[in-house]
Chains A and B, each alone.
Chain A
Amino acid sequence: MRSKPGQIAVWQARLIMLVMINIAQLWILAATVDAALARHYSVLLPLVIASGVCFAITLSIIKWWRPTSRKKTSSGYIR
């Protein structure tokens, strides 16, 4: 079954968003390492929370943000 143009756009948007979130998390991890080595403990928790929020957004994109025209069966979405 071929994807419709709209579905392709949604897939591309999902991928781009996931890549951008991954890049942001890489930056957060680098900032966490820097802060830990510099003993700036006050910023560690906000950085971990930010990384957790990014992960939650990633999960929501993967689990729920799908092309609406895809058919769903009892065993899941049609691939």
Chain B
Amino acid sequence: MTKNLSDESDVRAATAPYQAEFPYERDEEAQVTRREFCNFLGLTSAALFVGAAGFAGKAALDARESVSLPTAHIEGAETLTPNSSLNFSYPTERDSAILIRTADGAYHAYGQKCTHLSCPVYYSRAEQRLECPCHEGAFDAATGAVLYGPPPRGLDLIEVETRDGQIWATGRKS
């Protein structure tokens, strides 16, 4: 007698060790009761509430923090040619920023996070403006103000100073 490979009992026997560790029945997989679905929607509602409260709480906490920012030398800024940009970190290593030397030779620095959904912005040499590739927002290179697109406010401004021919970041404004 040949063995029937599609026999359900063989499959059950073969998967028994796994069922012991991960007890998930095929029959249960196909059926979700209305009660279970209601409970799932309740959990989802709780998670969405916690998410909104957490996000709002973190934003409120960040707004209250008033730390004195360090002064930092921007490496390589002196050799930056006009109409080009340089990435650096300020005030911490985790905060990416972008230094721009506009065509007239002036230095401007901004936080690199787009104010829409935090994608990194880049400097478009052709258009001479900062652009966000995610949702097509654009910012003025000289002021950081929104030119068009979904960002609700301008980029965070990083104050720069020239000291003995070197470029220093001295503060940050939202």
Contacts and interface: CB of A to CB of B under 8 A. Distances in A.
Given A32-B56, A45-B56, A51 B48 contact: yes
Nearest to A77: B35
Interface in A32-79: 32-41, 44-45, 47-48, 51-52, 54-55, 58-59, 61-62, 79
A29 interface: yes
Contacts of B51: 29
A59 B39 CA distance: 9
B38 A37 contact: no
Interface in A1-34: 11, 14-15, 18-19, 21-22, 25-26, 28-29, 32-34
Given A15-B34, A37-B118, A62-B38, A25 B49 contact: yes
B153 A39 contact: yes
Contact of A37 (B46, B48, B117): B117
Contacts of A48: 49, 52-53, 56
A19 B38 CA distance: 9
Contacts, number: 93
A37 B115 contact: yes
Contacts of A45: 56
Contacts of B56: 32, 35-36, 44-45, 47-48
B55 interface: yes
B172 interface: no
Nearest to B151: A38
B16 interface: no
Contacts of B39: 62
Nearest to B33: A79
A26 B37 CA distance: 18
Given A28-B48, A39-B63, A51 B41 contact: no
22 contacts: A15-B38, A21-B45, A25-B48, A29-B51, A29-B52, A32-B55, A32-B56, A33-B55, A34-B152, A35-B56, A37-B117, A39-B59, A39-B174, A41-B59, A47-B52, A48-B52, A48-B53, A48-B56, A51-B49, A52-B53, A54-B48, A59-B45
Interface of B: 34-35, 37-39, 41-42, 44-46, 48-49, 51-53, 55-56, 58-60, 63, 115-118, 152-153, 174
Given A25-B48, A37-B116, A59-B42, 13 more contacts: A18-B42, A25-B44, A29-B55, A32-B52, A33-B117, A37-B152, A38-B153, A39-B153, A41-B63, A44-B60, A48-B52, A61-B38, A62-B38
